[in-house]
């Protein structure tokens, strides 16, 4: 594996062993099915984040696929990851554009300049890590910090999923039925069907919803007419950036949050696979930064390694990096299809919300897994305080304003964890005395 830039992926049967390593693959039909599942896993956030900021979801799906392929090439196919729209941008993009919260955002070009600036800072950090190593980042963000940040991402997203299914009792019950569908597939099936738990669970819940609403007249029925009226293929509407110094200054520091997300992602995957991926951290930062720059120039959102896909890997135990190439290619094709966008519109909110509840929960548990695998000592009060405060800041969506600069819950928790851990550091003599 080390004598070539890309791995030589070995094929194994699905029954050979429970784990498929990064340099292995399943038969191609099963690989395609897994790629579809990762597209489904990233879909909720990669569509939701653009909608919250007034971006075109189809364009953002397209750029997520292109960004993922760029990332794949930069890391030599060694790090399993999908790059999708980052929630870390939402608060500041809304702030710099004055977005009202519905429909297309007329001031997207201003935000794009800031997104590109963030990508440049991110890529520079990657170059520094590649040149001097990761020790300084690991000192700032040890397992107790990265685990807390990954966990916080899931907890911070949780209210979005819950709020989306709380509009009526019917919506809430359908969300719970969706959770049961996914959980049932995860527990009571075996083999490839079990590994496709999210995709299969969503399809089962979709059918149940259609029967209950369109067939029995309960709840809001699915409107399939939008699918019939949409074209199969069409170009997305690209947008050119405007480089406003104020917007660039506000959005560029988000790179620190993306670094923490990416580092947490790599540490989580390393823990799950038992493979040390630290030597690819710098290249991963550069790949993510360049993907954000390319997305910004096309009119898309800033991107990040997706914790949702960590959740899928955690339950399927399939870490083959080729799965993400397939997922990226599917996303690119779908990005050029208005009919796909129309089909996506037919997925009922309660069903998507139920899937999100499962996936966001898996993200939070993956953060806790980082603590367990790295044997974080919570009898050490510094670790205890850092984790406790970070979780509450993130889960409570604690916002902080410093003049014109504002941080949402994920940002506050990220910077809070890093700063708090550094401030509570004790000298060796003090540690020995305790």
At residue 242, does pLDDT exceed 90? yes
Least confident stretch, 206-215, 281-290, 357-366: 357-366
Q: What is the Cα Rg of the chain in Å?
A: 21
In a domain, 324, yes or no: yes
The burial class, CB within 10 Å (0-12 / 13-18 / 19+), for 216 is exposed
Q: What is the pTM of this model?
A: 0.73
In a domain, 227, yes or no: yes
In a domain, 144, yes or no: yes
Model confidence band, residue 241 (pLDDT cutoffs 50, 70, 90): very high
In a domain, 409, yes or no: yes
In a domain, 224, yes or no: yes
pLDDT, tens digit (0-9, with 9 covering 90-100), for 59-82: 999 999 999 999 999 999 999 999
**Residue 400 lies in domain:** 26-433
pLDDT, tens digit (0-9, with 9 covering 90-100), for 8-21: 888 876 544 578 88
- Report how many domains make up the chain: 1
In a domain, 178, yes or no: yes
In a domain, 383, yes or no: yes
Give the rounded percent of residues in the chain with a pLDDT score beyond 70: 91
CB of 378 closer than 8 Å to CB of 148? no
In a domain, 18, yes or no: no
């Amino acid at each position: 594996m080390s004598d070539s830039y890309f791995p030589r992926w070995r094929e194994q049967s699905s029954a050979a062993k429970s784990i498929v390593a990064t340099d292995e693959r399943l038969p191609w039909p099963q690989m395609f099915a897994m790629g579809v599942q990762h597209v489904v896993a990233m879909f909720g956030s990669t569509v939701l984040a653009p909608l919250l900021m007034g971006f075109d979801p189809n364009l953002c799906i397209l750029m997520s696929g292109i960004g993922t392929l760029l990332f794949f090439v930069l890391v030599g196919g060694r790090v399993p990851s999908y790059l999708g729209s980052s929630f870390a941008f939402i608060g500041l993009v809304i702030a710099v554009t004055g977005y009202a919260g519905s429909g297309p955002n007329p001031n997207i070009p201003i935000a794009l300049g800031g997104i590109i600036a963030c990508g440049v800072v991110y890529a520079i950090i990657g170059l520094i890590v590649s040149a001097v190593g990761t020790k300084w980042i690991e000192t700032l963000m040890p397992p107790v910090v990265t685990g807390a940040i990954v966990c916080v991402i899931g907890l911070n997203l949780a209210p979005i999923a819950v709020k989306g299914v709380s509009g009526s009792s019917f919506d809430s019950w359908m969300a719970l039925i969706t959770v049961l569908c996914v959980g049932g597939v995860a527990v009571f099936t075996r083999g490839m069907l079990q590994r496709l738990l999210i995709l299969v669970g969503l399809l089962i819940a979709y059918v149940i919803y259609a029967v209950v609403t369109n067939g029995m007249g309960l709840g809001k029925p699915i409107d399939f007419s939008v699918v019939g009226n949409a074209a199969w293929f069409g170009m997305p509407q690209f947008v050119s950036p405007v480089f406003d110094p104020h917007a660039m200054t506000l959005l560029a520091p988000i790179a620190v949050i993306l670094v923490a997300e990416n580092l947490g992602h790599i540490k989580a995957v390393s823990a799950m696979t038992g493979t040390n991926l630290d030597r690819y951290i710098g290249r991963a930062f550069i790949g993510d930064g360049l993907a954000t720059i390319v997305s910004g120039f096309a009119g898309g959102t800033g991107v990040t390694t997706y914790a949702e896909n960590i959740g899928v890997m955690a339950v399927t135990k399939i870490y083959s990096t080729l799965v993400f190439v397939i997922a990226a290619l599917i996303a690119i094709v779908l990005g050029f299809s208005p009919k796909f966008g129309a089909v996506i519109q037919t997925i009922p909110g309660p069903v998507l919300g139920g899937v999100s509840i499962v996936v966001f929960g898996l993200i939070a548990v993956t953060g806790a897994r980082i603590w367990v695998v790295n044997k974080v000592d919570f009898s050490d009060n510094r670790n205890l305080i850092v984790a406790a405060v970070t979780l509450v800041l993130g889960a409570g969506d604690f916002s902080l304003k410093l003049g014109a600069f504002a941080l949402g819950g994920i940002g506050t928790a990220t910077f809070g964890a890093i700063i708090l851990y550094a401030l509570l550091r004790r000298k060796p003599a003090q540690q020995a005395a305790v």
